[in-house]
Amino acid sequence: MFKRLSLKVWVVALTASLLLVACGSGSNAPAPAPTKTDSAPATLEFKDTLVIGSQYGDPQGSWDPIDTFLLAWGEVACNIYDGLVDRGVDLKLKPGLATEWKFIDDKTIEFKLRQGVKFHNGEPFNADAVVFTFTRLLGPDGKTSPQLSNYTSIDKVVKVDDYTVRFMMKEMDPVIITKLAGYGAMIISPKYYQEKGDAFFNTNPVGTGPYKVTAYTKDSQVVLEANPDYWGDKAKTKKVIVRFIPEDATRVAEFQTGAIDIMQTVPVAQVKTLQADKNVKVLPVGGPTAWALRFDISKSPVDKLEVRQAIGYAIDSKTIIDTILSGNGKLISSFQGDGSFGNNPDLKPLEFNPAKAKELIDKAGAKGAKLDVFFSSKAVIQKEIAQAIASYLKDVGLEVVLNPVDPQQLSGTLITEGKAGHMYLFGWGGWTLDYDNTAYLLYSKGQKWDPYFNDAKVNELLTKERTSTDPKVREQAMKDLTVRLRETMPDVPLYQAVAVWATGAKVQGFVAPPDDRMRLAPVTVTK
Amino acid sequence: MVPYIIKRVLHGLMVLLAISLVVFFLLRLTGDPVMALLGQGNPTQEAVAAMQHALGLDQPLWRQLIKFLTDLATGNFGISFRNKQPVMPQLVERMPATMTLAFAGMAVSLLVAVPIGIQSAVRRGKAIDVLGRVFALIGISFPNFWLGIMLMLIFAVKLRWLPASGYQGFKYLILPAVTLGLILSSIITRLIRSAMLDVLRQQYVQTARAKGVAERTVIYRHAFRNALIPTVTFVGLQLGSLLGGTVILEQVFSWPGVGRLALDAISNRDFPMVQGAVLMLSTVMVAINLAVDLTYGFLDPRIKVGGKA
């Protein structure tokens, strides 16, 4: 008996001690470098290699710009390729492979190309490369590309001379310049692509960017090496390894061991711990992604404006941001982030007013109505937000049934087929950072994302902003649109997502990118 | 023996055909993948139609099925909807990582389970038995992702002995293999223990002891060999399952195996990749099942594989 007891005690003690070791206090910082006993070096020494822990998995086995719409692709590939137009980390447009451009008329844009630029394989960049890139996207190869729909306003691209091209548009597209900084418009090397073939190019891409790909292990990592012939500011760190670590706990562990220098997406629960650590820089950044509770207005009772307004008043988005998101979100008044062109700062976020909500529900005769809410089953945060919304709505007399579903199923089938309940939690990337991208696709008549919403004034304002190249006219039209959408309320804007990055204190030059595109050329790590 | 194997192979092919049909229809029940593949843009009707045509999804279902089955008959698993490359090489490319983890995990589990299981049975009720049972209980109770993360915190974050995750060499294999091995070994330990307890009660064991055969020989040659049959069945089936990828551990340890590929394919509605992954796993399971049945004959000569009772 004694032996058995002592053995159990031993086992319990061992388990407890292991747990204590695992959970014990201590610095969460990356491992400090060994302290040198001799005097400190006079100049800073930099590491040759920078390691990044990406929250994303693999970009689905392809680095080809026209195969993708994934952030997993963009965050790395913006260092491999350049577009004619570049969008900096400040989200402002600037010349990329084109040095200047001008509108010849509403449907013709001329670009002057940068000279002396070479692709990673030594092939020269010129007008032929631009023509080839867009002919491929708009031709048979692009037929199955998720990028095609972003560029359908382009009829063709023609060469004027070796360093001048003209974009001939089918229709005026006020956002085309922004779109040319997008994934599908990254310029690829024609000769290399044609010689090596599509399959080889997928895993051995060649662009003109500050880094070139030297090794790629699917679902594991991609290794980049500085391009010594880069036309712009050359990369300061010789080698970058981007590791795909989708599991939050693993990414945090890797950061704590110092195995990665930059961590993408600090889990909400870890933010405060890391903020308290002086060896860590925590970098929150508001991105282009906004979240809303969207209605299927073909279904009763959310077909009634009063019910939709009541739901809007019943939800306390600020508390959701402060608690569930631990402050990592921003209140929004329309379905766009504060960096979006068309955001209306004069329109205040919807007030939290449960009394008013109750009144509206009584007026609409909807008290006790049962509402289905659909949301992604994969994101814990979304589940918690859905639960909070259910609780808020219960307080004002509405009953909510929670329906967690596969995210691809939700956006790929259920929403577009009108099977996503009375309302669903919906995130929108808004990658062009122009409200047109969101507003046209979500609110104009007969769109796949919201086939039932149709408002004459909304359509009129959308047409107005789409048929003008005057930024002032467009901006005013979109601001008016935000007001009209508040009146018609096809959705309740909830928050703008704030992504949190972390780096070790020795990492310099890294700016947390609001669009996830890591600009790695200026980044260094001191030894 | 040979007719038996032929019969079993044919039987296996029937199973694979049935699985192919089930996975084919189940995937198509989940709806049209084209919208998910085109992303968060606004594809025109023409773009949707072009994508459906390019992927063969505009064909009637029976025609898609015939194409799928005829392709399968020639070993062609189709083209990935996502990266437009053949599925088979992509699956094969992931096999080394998955096999490495599966075999390493199994090796760890056997190294732990066999001695503990045997000693627990032989010294029933003694300290080693209690320890073995507690160990097995803990192993069964721990979710593998939790154990993986705990081991990572201890050996990578606190002690800094091992890398936390990745796929770059032997030391990267240790944590995932030990996690997998410990979880598996808990079940195998119990299995060996109970099988050994059964066998040790048999008369031939008593006879062997009565004849003065050394205890070590009694345990390992007479008893353990007979206790192996249920263990081999379990180990074989587990190995088959592991070769299909240990999805959660691959995710936790950023291990680029078949499991992660399959998981991504499901999320991304990549039908050919899901079909390929399921069929590959099924083929491995069928083959291992057959191998396990054939092994019985070697373990126990009284069992005549394919013979009549």
pLDDT, tens digit (0-9, with 9 covering 90-100), for A315-359: 999 999 999 998 889 999 999 988 888 999 999 999 999 999 999
Give the number of residues written for chain B: 309
| pLDDT value of position A451 | 78
Q: Is pLDDT of B78 > 50?
A: yes
| pLDDT value of position A42 | 55
Q: Is pLDDT of A308 > 50?
A: yes
**Bridge partner list, A111:** A101, A165
What gap in Å lies between CA A286 and CA A514, rounded to an integer? 6
* Identity of the residue in A150, A408, A429 whose CB atom sits nearest the CB atom of B267: A408
Q: What is the residue type of A183?
A: Y
Q: Is pLDDT of A298 > 80?
A: yes
**Residue appearing with tokens 């990492």:** A507
Chain B residues within an 8 Å CB radius of A170: none
pLDDT, tens digit (0-9, with 9 covering 90-100), for B126-174: 888 888 888 888 888 888 888 999 999 999 999 999 999 998 889 999 9
Q: Do A143 and B158 touch (CB under 8 A)?
A: no
Chain A residues within an 8 Å CB radius of B26: none
Q: Do B149 and A253 touch (CB under 8 A)?
A: yes
Chain B residues within an 8 Å CB radius of A378: 267
Query: Average per-residue pLDDT in chain A?
Result: 88
What gap in Å lies between CA A491 and CA A485, rounded to an integer? 8
Q: Do B82 and A60 touch (CB under 8 A)?
A: yes
Q: How far is CA A230 from the centre of its chain?
A: 26
Q: pLDDT band at B304, cuts 50/70/90?
A: low
| Angle, alpha carbons A135-A63-B176 (nearest 5°) | 165
Of the two residues B197 and A127, the one the predictor is more confident about is: A127
CA–CA min distance A359, chain B (Å): 37
Q: Do A152 and B51 touch (CB under 8 A)?
A: no
Is there a contact between A259 and B162 (Cβ–Cβ < 8 Å)?
no
DSSP code, position A289:
E
Q: Do B55 and A144 touch (CB under 8 A)?
A: yes
- B41: nearest CA partner in chain A: A149
| pLDDT value of position B125 | 84
Reported as type and span, the H/E element at residue A168 is strand A164-169
Q: Do B32 and A412 touch (CB under 8 A)?
A: yes
Q: How far is CA B259 from the centre of its chain?
A: 10
Q: Which two tokens stand for residue A523?
A: 């980044």
Pairing of strands A423-428, A370-376: parallel
Chain B residues within an 8 Å CB radius of A143: 47, 50-51, 54
Distance (Å) of CA B266 to CA A355, A443, B45, B257, B278 = 45, 30, 25, 15, 11
CA–CA min distance A274, chain B (Å): 15
pLDDT, tens digit (0-9, with 9 covering 90-100), for A206-258: 999 999 999 999 889 999 999 999 999 999 999 999 999 999 999 999 999 99
Q: Is pLDDT of A30 > 50?
A: no
* Identity of the residue in B126, B160, B253 whose CB atom sits nearest the CB atom of A257: B160
Q: pLDDT band at B43, cuts 50/70/90?
A: low
Q: pLDDT band at B234, cuts 50/70/90?
A: confident
pLDDT, tens digit (0-9, with 9 covering 90-100), for A39-74: 444 577 889 999 999 998 788 889 999 988 888 899
Q: What is the ipTM of this complex?
A: 0.81
- B138: nearest CA partner in chain A: A15
Name the least confident of A95-104, B70-79, B238-247: B238-247
Q: Which two tokens stand for residue B121?
A: 């049975």
Mutant choice from A2, A60, A71, A432 vs B, greatest count of B C-beta within 10 A: A60
- A415: nearest CA partner in chain B: B35
Mutant choice from A4, A149, A449 vs B, greatest count of B C-beta within 10 A: A149
Q: Do B131 and A253 touch (CB under 8 A)?
A: no
* Identity of the residue in B42, B134, B154 whose CB atom sits nearest the CB atom of A8: B134
pLDDT, tens digit (0-9, with 9 covering 90-100), for A276-291: 888 999 999 988 889 9
| pLDDT value of position B127 | 86
Per-residue buried b or exposed e for A166-183, using 16+ beta carbons within 10 Å of the residue's own CB: bbebeeebbbbbbbbbbb
What's the whole-number mean pLDDT along residues A427-435? 82
Chain B residues within an 8 Å CB radius of A16: none
What's the pTM?
0.83
Q: Do B54 and A19 touch (CB under 8 A)?
A: no
Q: pLDDT band at B42, cuts 50/70/90?
A: low
What gap in Å lies between CA A296 and CA A427, rounded to an integer? 15
Query: Long-range contact list for B288-294, CB < 8 A, 24+ apart?
Result: B288/B236, B288/B237, B288/B239, B288/B240, B288/B243, B289/B12, B289/B236, B289/B237, B289/B240, B290/B5, B290/B8, B290/B9, B290/B12, B291/B236, B292/B232, B292/B233, B292/B236, B292/B237, B293/B8, B294/B5
pLDDT above 70 coverage of chain B, percent: 93
| pLDDT value of position B307 | 53
**Residue appearing with tokens 């300290």:** B127
CA–CA min distance A165, chain B (Å): 26
Of the two residues B297 and A389, the one the predictor is more confident about is: A389
Name the least confident of A126-130, A448-452, B128-132: A448-452
In degrees and rounded to multiples of 5, residue B159 shows phi and psi of: -85, -20
pLDDT above 70 coverage of chain A, percent: 92
What gap in Å lies between CA A495 and CA B107, rounded to an integer? 50
